[in-house]
Chains A and B, each alone.
Chain A
Amino acid sequence: MDGCQSTIPTSEGDLHVVAAAHHIVKALGATKNLSDDLRKILIDLDAHLSMITSNTDSKGGRGFVNVEERLKQAERKILSWESDPRMIWDSGPREASKYLEAVDEIQTLVDGLQGLSVHENRKQKELIHHAMSVLQMAMSRLEEELIHILVQRRQQFDPKHMTSRSTQRDVVYDESFVSVEDEPTEETSSRNCSGDEIGEYIVDLIHADVIPDIKSIAKVMFTSNYGPEFCEAFIGVRKETLEQYFAIIDTEKLSIEDVLKLEWTSMSSKMNKWTWSMKIIVRVYLANLKGHDSWLLELGEAVAMGPHQPEKLLRLLDMYETLADLLRDIDTLFSEEAGSFVRLQFHELLESLGDSSIAAFEAFRVAISSNGSLYPFPGGGVHPLNKYVMNYIRMFSEYCNTLNLLLKNQHVDVADQVIEPDNGPNLSLSTSCPMACHLRSITSSLESNLHRKSQLYKNEALQHIFLMNNIHYMVQKVKGSELRLFFGDEWIRKHNGKFQQHAKNYERATWSSVICFLKDDNPGSSSLSKQTFKERCKGFSIAFEEVYKTQTSWCIPDPQLREDLRISTSLKVVLAYRTFLGRNSAHIENKCVKHTVEHVEKFLLDLFEGSPRSLRNSRRW
């Protein structure tokens, strides 16, 4: 259509004009002083005019014959496909383009006929009607073809990959806060999937190679004023496709009531799927849609409305961030009036998600404080609450910017605020950013709670072991992750001091009474009386065995810490024992010295292994 414009001089007047023009051209051509360019133009024009005049019947009144011929020819093409059960676009690009040419031809004829408003005679009207009729047939067919192409070439959406990835992430932190398990996996898969992963799953609902076909159909339909039909068909299929995808991702659409009642595991997976869906679908699809984001909005709103359990926090933050990112795209795409309603809804949803996140954060803090225990944690090791909290907050650093934004106006308890000089130009990583303050407040609550738990132990030494283990764990977690940037060196130093203090307290509580037996009462005198020596030995053995029995069942999970404590203990006890025996070597007989120094050394290694032992029944001497 863009190429040769065929004109249809069908009225007598027009024929005269053409003849006149031709005459002039011939006359000009005879002129001698023509530039090459001008000559070329004239030759072209001459040829063109000749074509026109040769095409028309010089006898007036039958000027429409040519039009009718062409119309009939195009009609034949179009009718030939009407009875054909095959789809045109399935039959190859040549067939398709021939069909489109025919439609084009009719369009041109109609335009030409309608352009001749001067003489509205019956013949002209008839022709117009005929052409329009054929055109309608063609448009109807094109609509069918369009739908066929769109449906045929829908991308296959493979949900299996998607679900397996999301379940991988679900492994960590899907326990609800109430039932804190032992040792969740330390390996947290990265929260943000890389751009590549998303790229894999970005499903454009139409395969790339049919886009030219669709474009050509669109062009023809729009030029013929059949744009509305094109739009309805196109939107209809895409809407269907999208809903199929939704159905695949999430086979069950839930009402708000249902969503609110969801158990955590289902809720968590739903929220994950939401985030995925947003990333994939919104990115690709928004351009054409206006009502179909409603599903996403509804689910998002239902989730934002629900009870703000602490375990939802990370998911909520995921949703928030995804939406915040996409909002830029949404804003651009929906900048016109009709779309602003949708835009507004998304912004409101973002706000709700923000509020929910803050509420979940609060709930997290409250849950930590109120997590009570009836019984002391056996073995004095690292409490599951501690593990849960520390591992959970480790993941917050990824959401640092969002959390800082949301928590900016939230009040923080000032207890245990460590004032530290700013770490550098990057304010968000400093120890004084809102998130850092809240994190310290959280660990502070955790510490208080752990202190309360330690009071459940009757044995003072065990209280100290418990606190030593737990504070050490907290420090390790902070040091070993990005949290150290938020907590700062001061905090780390302070807490190092704390657990070391507990270690010392433990030693004092346990061993001072034992070492008492080995003390040198009179520095001056060389040795004790035999009787005293015997008593002392016995006392020491009993006390030592008691400690052994009790404390082999205690636990220090961290190997380095265990080693350090053993060494420290060993230094005190073994040294004292050796000295004691050395000073009283005169009295040593096999009978009263139950354990050699080497034995004591060895037995000390059994402490804190977590498996209770007793020396009473031991035949090792």
Chain B
Amino acid sequence: MPATDYQASFLGRISLRRNQVIAMDGNHEQEDLELFSKHVSERFTELLSPPDDVVFDTLLSISWLRKLLDVFLCCEAEFKAVLMMGDDDHPFQISKPPLDRLIHEFLDRSIKALDLCNAVTNGLDSVRHYQKLAEIAASALGQKPIGDGQARRSRKALNSLLMAMSVDDKECSAVKTTERSWSFSRLAVNKDRSPGHLRQVAKKWSAAKQIQAMTWNLVPPRGAEGSGLASPVYTMSVIMVFVMWALAAAIPCQERNGLSATYFPVRKQWSWDQSITGLHEKIAEEWKEKEKKGAAGLLSEVQKMEKLVRNLMEFTDSFQFHGGTDEKAEEAADHAAELAEICKRMEEGLLPLQMKIKEVFHRIVRSRAEFLQALKQGGKSSAPPV
């Protein structure tokens, strides 16, 4: 459900309730919490199946990621409403312990999420670089008949592309260089090019560590706590961690070593647990498979691209030495066409995805400011805890 639709209906419900003259008891808050859980569960269950227009066999495609981020935005909007609305009946409830501590932890997590958003956005730049190289390769091989020059041209681009992908994937390298993989012998020798301590993110920063830090202290609320506002805070935290994890899994960003093994502390108590856990497991499985082969991010388009690129590399290699047979040439042309298709998808989808991530970024920033404001106000007027 698109974010705007949801918000409209939810807010409609709120105003309706406010007009009711009937005396309120504490139960309606419980209703809201249950509803929130239910919606979360529904949305994530929907995500278990890939969007209609996608033909990949893996989950993490560009359009799926966009949907995931939409789901995040919806959940976040509902979450904020639930938390802030509680204020009307119990003013400044969120500034009272233990909720205030939980919210502070949540806000700390959201800051880490912001850094991840930035890292992922940078990672998308790498993907765009792949796209450009792939376009060169695909168009060179698209011309019939394939000449020697075109084959070499394509091969050069494919080579650069594979090198770029493998550099991005080096999970053991703590420092990611942004140096392009110039496949020129002359330039490699050239001394005046400094290897560069270039970084796109802070030196010691690591996506894996960041996400692990987000899961620290992420404990499901127990007992009496579990029935209050602590539980949506927990739910939203899990959602945030999951979304960031999925993004980091899909898109090459710095230092993802060990990310596949991120532990999600969920109890199979709530309805949404299963859908999120289900997704988590599915993605983790895909990851384990790819880890053996080595991959620059799980993004379906990139995965497919890599496969095609390797095929085409084989072709251009053999072409160089044996000249092309018609059959092989046909095959290559088909692969080139598929590659061009993927590039087109990327061309259409990458920018909207980047914009979506920025939207998420700004939403987190704004919500954080609102929560801080509410906590401050609450702090002023609340009596010191006994």
| Chain A residues with a Cβ under 8 A of chain B | 85, 87, 125, 128-129, 132-137, 139-140, 143-144, 147-148, 151-152, 226, 228-229, 231-232, 236-237, 239-240, 243-244, 247, 252-258, 260, 291, 294, 298, 301, 305, 338, 341, 345, 348, 352
28 CB contacts below 8 A, A to B, read A85-B186, A125-B145, A132-B147, A132-B150, A133-B152, A136-B150, A137-B152, A232-B133, A232-B136, A236-B180, A237-B180, A239-B178, A240-B196, A243-B178, A243-B196, A243-B200, A247-B196, A253-B199, A253-B201, A253-B202, A255-B115, A255-B201, A291-B128, A294-B121, A294-B125, A305-B368, A341-B351, A341-B354
Min CB gap A149→B, angstroms? 11
Q: A129-B148, A151-B193 are known contacts. Are A256 and B118 too (CB-CB below 8 A)?
A: yes
Expressed in whole angstroms, the minimum distance between the Cβ of B242 and any Cβ of chain A is 20
Does B23 reach chain A (CB closer than 8 Å)? no
Q: Is B156 at the interface (CB under 8 A from chain A)?
A: yes
Report how far A338 CA is from B348 CA in the complex, Å. 11
Cβ–Cβ contact B121 & A255, under 8 A:
no
How distant is the Cα of A562 from the Cα of B4 in the complex, in angstroms? Answer: 69
Contacts of B199 in A (CB 8 A): 243, 247, 253
| A305 (CB) vs chain B CBs: closest residue | B365
Distance, CA A136 to CA B148, complexed state (A):
9
Q: Which residues of A contact B147 (CB under 8 A)?
A: 128-129, 132-133
Closest chain B residue to A135 by CB distance?
A: B149
Note all chain A residues with C-beta closer than 8 A to B125: 291, 294
Check B190–A148 contact: CB distance below 8 A: yes
User: Which residue of chain B is the closest to A359 with respect to CB atoms?
Assistant: B369
Residue pair A136, B192 in contact (C-beta under 8 Å): no
B107-131 contacts to A, CB under 8 A, are: 111-112, 114-115, 118, 121-122, 125, 128-129
Q: Are B153 and A139 in contact (CB under 8 A)?
A: yes
A247 lies within 8 A of B358 (CB): no
Question: Do B202 and A254 have beta carbons less than 8 Å apart?
Answer: yes
Are A345 and B196 touching (Cβ within 8 A)?
Answer: no
B76 within 8 A of A: no
Are A298 and B118 interface neighbours, CB within 8 A? Answer: yes
Whether B101 sits at the interface, judged by CB under 8 Å, is no
Task: Indicate if B321 sits at the interface (CB-CB under 8 A).
Answer: no
Q: Does B355 contact A (CB under 8 A)?
A: yes
CB distance from A556 to the nearest CB of B (A): 41
A244-B152 in contact (CB<8A): no
Contacts of A260 in B (CB 8 A): 111
Which B residues have a C-beta under 8 Å from some C-beta of A? 111-112, 114-115, 118, 121-122, 125, 128-129, 132-133, 135-136, 139, 145, 147-150, 152-153, 156-157, 178-180, 182, 184, 186-187, 190, 192-194, 196-203, 205, 351, 354-355, 358, 361-362, 365, 368-369
Shortest Cβ distance from B135 into A: residue: A228
Q: Which residue of A lies closest to B354 (CB)?
A: A341
When the two chains form their complex, are residues A294 and B122 in contact, meaning their CB atoms are under 8 A apart? Answer: yes
Q: Is B149 within 8 A of A133, CB to CB? A: yes
Complex contacts, B193 vs chain A, CB 8 Å: 151
Check if A348 sits within 8 Å of B179, measured CB to CB. Answer: no
Supposing A254-B202, A256-B115 touch, asked if A228 and B132 sit within 8 A by C-beta, the answer is yes
Chain B contacts for A87, CB-based, 8 A:
186
A244 — which chain B residues lie within 8 A by C-beta? 194, 196, 198
**Chain A nearest Cβ from B137, distance in angstroms:** 10
Residues on B with C-beta less than 8 A from A144 are 184, 186-187
Q: Which residues of A contact B139 (CB under 8 A)?
A: 228
Which B-chain residue is minimally distant from A348 (CB atoms)? B362
* A350 to B149 CA separation, bound complex (whole angstroms): 50
**16 other contacts beyond A132-B150, A136-B152, with CB at 8 A cut-off?**
A125-B145, A128-B147, A132-B148, A136-B153, A137-B152, A226-B153, A232-B132, A240-B198, A244-B198, A252-B203, A253-B199, A253-B200, A257-B112, A260-B111, A294-B121, A341-B351
CB proximity of A78 to chain B, nearest CB, Å: 12
Other-chain contact of A147, B121, B122, B145, B182 (Cβ < 8 Å): B182
Query: In angstroms, how far is the closest chain A Cβ from the Cβ of B371?
Result: 13
* Contact across chains for B202 and A255 when beta carbons are under 8 A apart: yes
Task: Say how far A567's CB is from chain B's closest CB, in angstroms.
Answer: 52
CB-CB under 8 A from B190, the residues of chain A are 148, 151
Distance in Å: Cβ of A107 to nearest Cβ of chain B: 13
Residue in A239, A252, A341 whose beta carbon sits within 8 Å of that of B202 in the complex = A252
Known A-B contacts A148-B190, A239-B178; the reply to A134 vs B196 at CB < 8 A is no
| Distance A202 CA – B153 CA, assembled complex (angstroms) | 37
Tell which of A128, A148, A240, A345 touches B179, judged by Cβ atoms closer than 8 Å: A240
| Chain A min CB distance to B370 (Å) | 13
Known A-B contacts A144-B184, A236-B180, A244-B196; the reply to A256 vs B114 at CB < 8 A is: yes
B205 A243 Cβ-Cβ under 8 A: no
Return A11 CB to nearest CB of chain B, in Å.
22
**How far, in Å, is A306 (CB) from chain B's closest CB?**
11
A316 to chain B, nearest CB (A): 15
User: Contact check: which of A139, A226, A345 meets B358 at CB < 8 Å?
Assistant: A345
Tell me, rounded to whole Å, the shortest Cβ–Cβ distance linking A207 to chain B.
Answer: 14
Query: Which of A151, A240, A254, A256 has the most B CB atoms < 10 Å from its CB?
Result: A256
CB-CB under 8 A from B354, the residues of chain A are: 341
Partner of A151, one of B135, B156, B192: B192
Roughly how many angstroms separate A231 CA and B129 CA in the complex, as a whole number? 11
| A152 neighbours in B (Cβ, 8 Å) | 192
The minimal Cβ–Cβ distance linking B281 to chain A, given in whole angstroms, is 29
Asked if A147 contacts B187 (CB within 8 A), the reply is: yes
**What residue of chain A has the Cβ atom nearest to residue B115's Cβ?**
A255
**CB closest residue in chain B, given A338:** B351
What residues on B are CB-neighbors of A255 within 8 Å? 115, 201-202, 205
Shortest distance between the CB of A262 and any CB in chain B (Å)? 13
Q: Nearest chain A CB to B186's CB is how many angstroms away?
A: 6
Q: If A148-B187, A232-B132 touch, does A136 touch B198 (CB 8 Å cutoff)? A: no
Closest Cβ of chain B: how far from A285's Cβ, in Å?
16
- Chain A residues whose C-beta falls within 8 Å of the C-beta of B157 in the assembled complex: 229
Query: Among the listed B148, B179, B187, which residue makes an inter-chain contact with A133, where contact means beta carbons less than 8 Å apart?
Result: B148
- What is the CA–CA distance of A85 and B190 in the complex, to the nearest angstrom? 11
Residue of B nearest to A229 (CB): B136
- Give the chain B neighbours of A301 by CB distance below 8 A: 361, 365
Closest to A145 in B: B186
- Chain B residue, CB-CB nearest to A231: B132
Distance of A394 Cα from B132 Cα, bound (Å)? 53
Separation of A385 and B193 alpha carbons in the complex (Å):
53
A136–B146 CA distance with the chains assembled, in angstroms: 13
With contacts A132-B148, A152-B192, A236-B180 known, is A341 near B355, CB below 8 A?
yes
